[in-house]
């Protein structure tokens, strides 16, 4: 059975560079532009990595413009989405491919929190 660790966090912002600079100055996080996917990536030592993303678009509607999305690692997105639905959660966005990286899906839990699942390509970790 998969352990489902937190593997990625997306923090929304109207100005991603300004927010990245804030976290870099306040906490010493490493902040770099990911040119492949055009987002500002961060690494906070000792925790999961993530990205500063533009305020959530249509796919994240309902999560709130200033609500981070936490992604849980999985080796079976489809199976986990079925368990989520069976437990009272709801699929918001089905499995989507991130070319060359893996797949993501979005769901809401029974309390309405928006969360994500991430499954990496074999060998990508």
For every one of its 125 residues, what pLDDT tens digit does the chain have, with 9 covering 90 and above?
A: 468 999 999 988 888 999 999 999 999 999 999 888 888 999 988 888 999 988 756 555 556 667 889 999 999 999 999 999 999 999 999 999 999 999 999 999 998 889 999 999 987 65
Does residue 77 fall inside a structural domain? yes
Does residue 125 fall inside a structural domain? no
Distance from C-alpha of 29 to C-alpha of 100, rounded to nearest angstrom: 26
Domain count, the chain: 1
CB atoms within 10 A of CB 96: 12
Does residue 71 fall inside a structural domain? yes
Sign of the torsion formed by the C-alpha atoms of 80, 81, 87 and 89: positive
Does residue 13 fall inside a structural domain? yes
User: How many residues belong to the chain?
Assistant: 125
Does residue 38 fall inside a structural domain? yes
| pTM (2 d.p.) | 0.85
Does residue 1 fall inside a structural domain? no
What range defines the domain where residue 73 resides?
6-120
CATH of the domain at 96: 3.10.180.10
């Amino acid at each position: 059975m998969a352990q489902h660790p937190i593997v990625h966090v997306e923090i929304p912002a109207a100005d991603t560079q300004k927010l990245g600079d804030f976290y870099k100055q306040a906490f010493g996080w490493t902040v770099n532009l990911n040119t492949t996917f055009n987002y500002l990536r961060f690494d906070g030592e000792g925790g999961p990595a993530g990205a500063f993303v533009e305020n959530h678009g249509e796919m994240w509607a309902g999560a709130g413009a200033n609500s981070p999305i936490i992604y849980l690692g999985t080796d079976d997105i489809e199976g986990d989405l079925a368990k989520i639905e069976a437990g009272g959660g709801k699929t918001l966005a089905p499995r989507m491919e991130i070319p060359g990286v893996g797949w993501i899906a979005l769901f809401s839990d029974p309390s309405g929190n928006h969360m994500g699942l991430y499954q990496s390509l074999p060998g990508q970790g």
